[in-house]
Structure 1
Amino acid sequence: MTAFTGKVALVTGGARGIGAEVARRLRARGARLVLIDNDSAPLRELAVELGGEEHVVAVSADVCDLAAVENAVARGVERFGGIDIVVANAGISSYGSVLTVDPAAFRRVVEVNLIGSFHTVRAALPSIAERRGYVLIVSSIAAYVAMPGLAAYDATKAGVEQFANALRLEVAHLGVGVGSAHMSWIDTSLVREAHADVPASVRARATMPRPLRKAIPVRECAARFERGIERRAERINVPAWAGVLRWLRPLLHTPLVERVSGRAVPTWLSDMDAEVVGLGRSLSARVQALGKSRPASE
């Protein structure tokens, strides 16, 4: 028996990266899973890997579609009796400065990262409240410190942190725990695709303080998520020192610090914008293709 034996966990963005690895870890400790992703092929493969229909309900759906998320939750509740844990993990990022980013891509980031988190919580909350469960909303250290060229990502990750804070106050009396996760660079397809598409992003990363440059393995990140979910943590920081940035946030955005930290921005931001214009898109090819398909459910 483990803390997750018999529990039911809903994970969005569950087909790859952090979501998939968290799903593996929870399943290994006895949880049953409801996985949502709009990337159907890897989602099906993961469901088979984790034991198939006996243990996993896998639904190909877009978190921007509330009805589709509600359908996925209903299928999980019908199959397993309820939802105990939510990991609102689905997230994307765009490329380019505010003057260059494709407005449709900016909007898509807001829809997936912020509205998608709301849809996930809204659909699952009745069951979570009934079971006095736990909700983890995946933010980023971008909620603590802004990163030029990633304004949509920054804004949505700050937004979901505050969404988690408000939700925690709303549901505490129901016995529901709410946490937010704040990660530095994680070695996911999101990061790898960005660096391949926009080489200037690699140079931008190199200008950051040394601890902020390191890419953390997905397994290490998922292990911290697992421990945080078990503790019903209010915040999960990956790596642990990232939590210091939360307390330094007022200082990091003072005029003096912004002037010093922003000195390197002109050396790479114009190159990033030129690369984005050359690409003809502000999302990775994979994310853009998935956004165009937008399956409701299957």
Structure 2
Amino acid sequence: MTVATATRAEFTKQFSTSMWWLLTIILVAYVAFTAGALAFVFGGVDAGVLPGQGAPVPTEGIAPVLYGLAATVGYVVPLIVGTLMVTGEFRHQTLTATFLTTPRRSTVLWAKIVAGAIIGVGFGIVGTLAAALPSAGILAAFGLPTDLDSRETWALLARVVLAFAIWVLVGIGVGALVRNQVAAVVGVLVFTQFLEPIARTAGAFVDGLDAVTAYLPGAASDALVGSSVFALAGGAAESGLEWWAGGLVLTAYAVVFLVLGYATSWRRDVS
């Protein structure tokens, strides 16, 4: 079986369950609510509708930060999607039939990579729209610039979609390396929602630590996108990486996990 045939089979497997649209709903609700709420806060404070405290709201350049929220807070969804693409097969033992149909295990993994990248693009488009539509509408209602007439803004939106595609590949690598679905998903949630945010926040206050945290996967993703609410809030050091360097670092994580997963867990017996 060729990679193209295996990829078509992979799409059939992924869209034959309800998981893909459940995760889509979670992504849209999470990102849209976060972006819309922050846009309302910034717009409301600037317009005097909400009481402001401390430093003035940086209304200039706030739109790209809100649009980039799709990747900043929503990247856990494509990461889980990629993880479930592999661990789901281990858990339900469907990988045995897959390997019997396609004995070359590298072909199966490549099919997951190709399908995962395409699925990641789809989730990226949905996440980008979920962040941009409500936040742009609210900013416009308050008379704040939406920056949708800027080429830089559209380039940022494209990089958000690219980041989502890479995150799915990272997830596939994690799933190939950690075969147990519960352990893999819990590990992903603990790292993305607790460990890395704490480390990045600490990097804003500990001298020299930001040089290390800039190479964490979430920080690299923010660098790729080119905007981060972490830096805006002052709770984390802003990454010094260029967008292309952030993309290379995030891609390196995907490659490392995929190679390690293939060299260890993927080549072992599955039943």
- Bigger relative contact order, structure 1 or 2 (CA pairs below 8 A, ≥6 apart): 2
Find the structure with the greater CA-based Rg: 2
TM-score, with length taken from structure 1: 0.29
TM-score, with length taken from structure 2: 0.31
Query: Which structure has the highest strand share of the two?
Result: 1
